[in-house]
Amino acid sequence: MVSATNDNPYNRWILTIAPNTFRSVKRILKRDIGCQTLTAFFMKRKFFNACCRHSILIKFDFFISLIFINKISLDLGKPKTIPMRNLALMFAMLFPISLAFSQETADEKKAEKAKSGWNFGGLPVVAYDTDLGFEYGALVNLFHYGDGSIYPKYKHNIYAEVSRFTKGSGINRLFYDSKYVIPGIRLTADLAYLTDKMYDFYGFNGYESVYNMDWADDESSFYRSRAFYKYDRKLTRFTSDLQGKFKNDKLGWVAGIGFYDFKVDTVDIDKLNKGKDEADKLPYVDGGLYKRYVDWGLIDEDEKNGGFVTYLKFGAVYDTRDNEPNPMKGVWTEAVVTYAPSFLGIGSKYEHAKLSIIHRQYFTLVPERLSFVYRLGYQGTIFGKCPFYLQPNMTTLFLRGSVSEGLGGAKSLRGIIRNRVVGDGIAYGNLELRWKFARFQFINQNFYLSFNAFLDGGQVVQKVKLDVPSTITEAGYDVSDYFSPENDKLHTSWGVGLRIVMNQNFIIAVDHGRAMKSDDGTSGTYIGLNFLF
């Protein structure tokens, strides 16, 4: 830890700007994020100044308080968009602090303590959304490290989250991962009930479906409703995957099963408007884009209300990572086929199979500090017709959030609106620089802070077949408001993020991404857990 004296110019900079920056951030949190519950002890200037005097320039207390009051469930509804001036203030505070920490020498760093037995991290879930209401709940992630000899690897990983918005959206999820229940086999299981009163729907085939941003902007003269590009979705899900090894311990096989029950309907405007001032109420739009697609026959009667599907999964995985949560070197590649047979719930009309190939690679640029990582992915339909409500689902062997869906949003193209890029086949990529700029011990736990800069991109490579009826114009609709003759092109976004990591495995994540084209939205800020890959 560096000393907070005037001998270090970085410390003089920090001690000069920190109190004013802190006051500005505090005002912003009160004004823009809409949360009234500041954690008083952590947010007091007295506490922050004391940290500076004792050279505790970036203790976990301060940043965890930001997470407590800003926890936005990235899997529910639209992400909270924080103005760039506010984001700049947050990083203005982080940057000089990170410079100070970069002055650490090897002698000053404390050796990381191996953990044993049970260890956990948790967060309250507190947020507010104009349409969905107040969110409340909690999440906890438990790790069992055995006698500590395998740390940072674990024997058991249990994750549980229960959170709910007052207007009905919510996450109820239990996740388990272990290599020790069945000898030589990795078992991963997930049970979830997810309700989303404002689930995003922008049509199919990327730019071939027009997104009119003004229609969802209540400050625009062309405003229709924030619910126009939404529908109501309830999802009950259980998945279980097994992974074993071939003779080469880096190459393995995968087998699994998943049960999905979707309930789909138009947005319940009356429920969302209950208790609102007249000026804040959502205009009624007769089901929005989803209802129009049903009326036009682009979504079949048999699929419009959802359905039950069983997925059988099999494939192979090649894994040479040195550390699963945040590798500094290695490769992680998987090729998986998911098959939905007609006799297991989905029916003969929607029997289909998809192929998913994901390649991830990690390079060390500065040992223990800086890495360059990338992910390339493809998912396409091999045969059959996939129902519309399953199209956003992205196959993965390890869920790093409550859903893996896209393209667009927190887990695929950050900064691009969720589900903007949906088709029978998609290709995508993510590039990241990850910098571990600070390490310290607090409350007898090992922590490090990591800054990341990223570039995301993806597009539809296999179209959903659409037969747009001529009756659209006869009904008074302008086709150009909904469909474009151009083929889909690459959708791109860029951004930065911060990770607060405890004992290598419990990872609080903040990402801010910005779309490069207005047809993909403007920006998104996501707060959740884990690195993207």
Determine the pLDDT at residue 52.
39
453 DSSP β-pair partners: 433, 496
Distance (Å, whole) CA 58 – CA 330 = 31
Domain boundaries, the chain: 9-529
Determine the pLDDT at residue 31.
40
User: What are the tens digits of pLDDT across the range 38-70?
Assistant: 333 334 444 334 333 333 333 333 343 333 333
In contact, 196 and 254? CB cutoff 8 Å: no
DSSP state string for 436-455: EEEEEEETTEEEEEEEEEEE
Determine the pLDDT at residue 476.
83
DSSP state string for 108-168: TSPPPPPP-SEEEEEEEEEEEETTTEEEEEEEEEEEE-TTTTTTTS-SEEEEEEEEEETTS
Determine the pLDDT at residue 58.
35
What burial letters (b/e) apply to 169-181, b meaning 16+ CB within 10 Å?
Answer: bbbbbebbbbbee
User: What are the tens digits of pLDDT across the range 430-473?
Assistant: 999 999 999 999 999 999 999 999 999 999 999 999 988 887 88
In contact, 130 and 145? CB cutoff 8 Å: no
Which parts of the chain have pLDDT scores under 70? Answer: 1-110
pTM: 0.81
In contact, 463 and 449? CB cutoff 8 Å: no
Determine the pLDDT at residue 110.
56
Determine the pLDDT at residue 191.
98
Q: Which architecture characterizes domain 9-529 according to CATH?
A: Beta Barrel (2.40)
